[in-house]
Structure 1
Amino acid sequence: MDQQLITSPPPPRATELHAWVLNTSTELKHLRAAMREALAGQGLLPGDDGLEVVDSMVLVATELASNAIRHGRPPTEIRLLRTDEHFVLDVADHDLSTVPELAHTRPIDAGGRGLLLAMNMSLKVGWYAAEQTKHIWAVFPVPVRAG
Structure 2
Amino acid sequence: MGRAAAGAGWPTASPPPAWDGLRWRLSDVTELPRVRDELRRSIDAQGLAHLRDRLLLVLDEMASNALRHGGGRVEASVRRTGDAFLVAVSDGDTGTPPTPAVDRDPSQGGLGLHLIAELSTAHGWYVEGDAKTVWAVLPRH
Judge same fold: TM > 0.5, yes or no. Answer: yes
SS in 2 for 1:62: helix
After superposition, where does 1:4-23 map in structure 2 within 5 Å? Answer: 4-12=9-17, 14-23=18-27
Matched-pair contact (CA < 8 Å) for 1:63–1:114: yes
- Check conservation: 1:56, 1:122, Cα contact below 8 A: no
Q: CA deviation at 1:114?
A: 1.2
| Partner Cα distance (2:94, 2:40) in 1 | 30
Say yes or no: does 1:87 pair with 2:92: no
* Cα distance between partner residues in 1 of 2:89 and 2:35: 12
Number of the residue aligned with 2:140: 142
For residues 19 and 56 of structure 1, the distance between their equivalents in structure 2, rounded to whole angstroms, comes to: 18
SS of the equivalent of 2:101 reads coil
- The answer for the alignment partner of 1:114 in structure 2 is 112
**Which stretches of structure 1, 4 residues or longer, exceed 4 Å deviation after superposition?**
none
Count of matched residue pairs: 134
> What secondary structure is seen at the aligned counterpart in 1 of 2:133?
strand
Residue identity opposite 2:48 in structure 1? L
2:63 to 50, 58, 65: 65
List gaps (5 residues or longer) in structure 2: 1-7
Report the equivalent of 2:34.
30
Separation of aligned partners in 2, 1:11 and 1:43: 23
Q: Give the share of equivalent positions with the same residue, in percent.
A: 38
Query: Which residue of 1 is the match for residue 4 of structure 2?
Result: none
1:21 partner letter: R
Structure 1: which 5+ runs fail to align?
46-50
Alpha-carbon RMSD: 1.6
| TM-score, normalised via structure 2 length | 0.86
